[in-house]
A and B are shown apart, each in its own frame.
Chain A
Amino acid sequence: MVKSNDDLRLCIVFSNALAWRGGIYLVIRKAADDDTQFQPVAETAVPAAALHDDAKGPLLSIGKKILTAGISEAQAIERAQQGEGESFETLYGMHKRRVYSLCLRMTGNTAEAEDLTQEAFLQLYRKIATFRGESAFSTWLHRLAVNVVLMHLRKKGLPEVSLQETLEPSEEDGPKKDFGANDQVLAGSIDRVNLERAIESLPPGYRIIFVLHDIEGYEHNEIAEMMGCSIGNSKSQLHKARMKLRDLLRVVRAERGAVKK
């Protein structure tokens, strides 16, 4: 726990710190008045490169930068609902990374992701008065952003999920005779960069389901509802996405092995 210049009691929580080799993920929380819980104030990913030179300095400076707004998310929501522009800017600062990362991973295109992030926050501003707190604000905003992306993809005519698809596997989904029992499993051989690249190269329909389920944590029933397909269809697409990723990542591993030799 550290104290800021404003004498706020703060707790910095490290999430996925050990697992994410690219750096650490910070959630900064402020103690509630009654000391019983810590409310999230801001979150940010800190790349490993920012930590190497001086482990203390960069962390604290990032914390101070985020906290210049000095208000909690709940306060920012309340003020934004009353039309206060600066509180909306605070909310944008808190959630832009998560929304943009979602848009980028779902579309695989920087320009489209920026346009969709803009559209998601515009819709947020127009709809924030209707937020009643039944779900967490981040969950509500996230769902809004997913809907913006899906609507965009429908307008573009890109296939999300083939409605004709059944659970019958195609030939390419059958047993892989070329992957023998002696092949090494992938465990330990995937790094974040290669996984991100492989996801980006997935066909749009597979990529969307994979991002929603495996990265963003939506359940199949939620995905089915959002995309207007069956739960079985969502499971089938997810399976095909993982199979395709497996193929892509095995190629990457084989190429790495060839370079070493």
Chain B
Amino acid sequence: MITEREAIAAARASAKSTGSSKAMNCAEFQRELPLIIDSGGSPEQEKHLRSCAVCRSLVDDLRYIAEQAKLLVPMFDPSPRVWEGITEKLQQEGLVKPFQARRS
């Protein structure tokens, strides 16, 4: 199984061998994007991002999705059946005495 460090080293080596004398293209940038999007890229990758509207739009969207996901609070309530099932099971196992019926 490939480790993260090996993957980054391989990606960098690949970028050097294929494009050391010319600017990084979209395919090269997007191939490495999973590894750098949350941590920031190399100067070469940042340079591509500044000059390429397509990749910039992609990165902006992916970061925006991640930001919006962080705002999703736990807002779903389980039905009363869940608590009833828990108490029933615990009483069957003899782990607790019968609970006072406080919930409907």
Contacts and interface: CB of A to CB of B under 8 A. Distances in A.
Nearest to B26: A175
Q: Looking at chain A's contact residues, is the secondary structure mostly helix, strand, loop, or mixed?
A: helix
Contacts of B3: 230-232
Secondary structure class of chain B's binding surface, majority of residues: helix
Interface centre among A19, A45, A235 (most CB of B within 10 A): A235
A117 B87 CA distance: 13
A242 B73 contact: no
Interface residues of A, number: 72
Contact of A192 (B2, B31, B55, B72): B72
Contacts of B4: 220, 230-232, 235
B95 A126 contact: yes
A222 interface: no
A92 to B, nearest CB: 6
Contact of B31 (A92, A105, A114, A169): A169
A246 B35 CA distance: 18
A38 interface: no
Contact of A16 (B37, B71, B83): B71
Interface in A167-202: 167-169, 173-176, 179-181, 183, 185-187, 190, 192, 195-196, 199
A92 B66 CA distance: 29
Interface residues of B, number: 53
A38 B71 CA distance: 23
B35 A175 contact: no
Contacts of A20: 71, 73
B81 A210 contact: no
Nearest to B36: A235
B85 to A, nearest CB: 5
Contact of B65 (A168, A175, A186): A186
A96 B82 contact: yes
Interface of B: 1-4, 7, 10-11, 26-27, 30-31, 33-35, 37, 53-55, 57-58, 60-62, 64-66, 68-79, 81-83, 85-87, 89-90, 95-97, 99-100, 102-103
Given A97-B76, A181-B57, A245-B65, 4 more contacts: A100-B74, A169-B30, A190-B64, A240-B34
